[in-house]
Chains A and B, each alone.
Chain A
Amino acid sequence: MTTTQDDVQSDWTPSEGRAPASKRGHRTRNRILEAAVRVFQERGLVDVTMQEIGREAGLSSGTVYKYFRDKADIFRFLVTQLRQVIREETTIPVDGDGRLVVRPAVLRFLELYRDNAALYRVWWELLDPPNEFSDLWAEVHEGYRKGFVAALKRGERAGVTKPGLDIEFTAELAVLLFERPTYTRIVLGWDSDIEDDQVAAVTDALLGSGLGSTVTG
């Protein structure tokens, strides 16, 4: 689980401007974070209270408030860590011919979602109305889109991208093809009759050479 790593927390300012300098403070803060993840996993963020998070952690609300201003503050802390993980782990490689290597990227994206299902659940919950978290979400989305644009342009230079392809919009659709089926699968729990490999195979086809013109559609 990525939520209790200490090494990416350096830029964080706790609610009372007091970083948990002691080992004990660290432990307490991690206890709160772990409890919050469990609560978010079950019920999202909107309907839960700091008291419930405190109860889950076995701590008084007073202690919880010593570390975090409110539940959004807790989520902000966690999603900042997740943002870092996303930055490091969700690049989609391009092969020697200049084509995207889709299959392993889909499987890794599913894994990332599974490991952070509670946070993704809350993140989707907070998309609307617009706020700092939906802005961050849009920023991540745009980052993915630009990555696909770059890859498709590279393919264009290598002569493998379909001539006349609307690269900008195709890149947008590519991001949606990663994001939404992963969300419905991991967060909503749909499609349990389907294996990850099948999802990866379909995504690979749509971002590869298609399903073939013999499809009647």
Chain B
Amino acid sequence: MPDKPRSARARAGVTDGAGTLPTRQALLGAGLVTFARAGYDGARVTDIAAEAGMTTGALYGHFDSKAALFEELFQLYGNKITRALDAGTSLEAQLVQWIEVSREYRGVLRASAGILQRRPDHAAARGRLREACAGLMAWHLRGPLTQRDARLVARMLIDVLDQYTLMESMGRTERRDAVDVAAALHGMVLEGVYA
């Protein structure tokens, strides 16, 4: 996983005789850290390589471009969040999972926000991930709602959490326990704000 600590070997740019997977993972981890710190435009390839303790050349040995590295990170994020939502046994548990995985991948979300409007291919991928997540959440929103309404509610909850995570990563809102955030949002879904 990209958030694993980097080994001294990876830091030194040493590749395994058996394969280069650890190096690749170190680069992904470095990408995540650098995107979280600097955003998409602010993260230069040299910064990512330096974060991994490697040369730019070593990075290009694994990824064609910054965009390619980002796409792979986005894939990892998408896989992890859909697996987590799939395993969630209630809407509230899913909301907690959503927040925790998104915090772990806040570098992906910060970078994504920076390119969402000017890269239609990425916006489409992000839209597909939102749909997949909404489908998994809507399953727990049956009850009196039609399938269509349940999906709309799920999309809106994802939107709220997307912005919440983004604002948190920009320091625009205080960091709260994921369980408390999920409980507040879940309470609004079930009971609204008025008695």
Residues of A within 8 A of B (CB): 43-44, 46-47, 99-100, 121, 124-125, 127-130, 134, 138, 141, 152, 155, 160-163, 165-166, 169-170, 172-174, 176-177, 179-181, 183-184, 187-188, 190-191, 194, 198-199, 202-203, 205-217
Given the interface pairs A181-B159, A202-B149, A206-B192, the reply to whether A130 lies near B141 with Cβ below 8 Å is no
The answer on a CB contact under 8 Å between B192 and A208 is yes
B191 CB within 8 Å of chain A: yes
The answer on a CB contact under 8 Å between B195 and A210 is no
B155 CB within 8 Å of chain A: yes
B91 / chain A contacts, CB cutoff of 8 Å: 215-217
B179 / chain A contacts, CB cutoff of 8 Å: none
Return the contact of A125 from the options B117, B149, B176, B190 (Cβ within 8 A): B117
Which of B25-33, B54-62, B65-73, B180-188 forms contacts with chain A?
B180-188
Interchain Cβ contacts within 8 Å, total number: 157
Q: How large is the interface on B (under 10, 10 to 19, 20 to 34, 35 or more residues)?
A: 35 or more
B166 / chain A contacts, CB cutoff of 8 Å: 127
Q: How far is the CA of A212 from the CA of B118 in the complex (A)?
A: 40
The answer on a CB contact under 8 Å between B193 and A217 is no
Least CB distance, B190 to chain A, in whole angstroms: 5
B5 CB within 8 Å of chain A: no
Could you list 25 examples of A-B contacts with CB < 8 Å? Answer: A47-B118, A128-B110, A128-B170, A129-B39, A152-B193, A162-B187, A162-B193, A165-B187, A169-B184, A170-B188, A173-B184, A181-B160, A187-B117, A198-B149, A199-B152, A199-B156, A206-B156, A208-B193, A210-B192, A211-B192, A213-B190, A215-B141, A215-B142, A215-B145, A217-B141
The answer on a CB contact under 8 Å between B188 and A130 is no
Residues of B within 8 A of A (CB): 39, 42, 90-92, 110, 113-114, 116-118, 123, 127, 130, 140-145, 149, 152-153, 155-156, 159-160, 162-164, 166, 170, 172-173, 176, 180-181, 184-195
Closest B residue to A211 by beta carbon equals B189
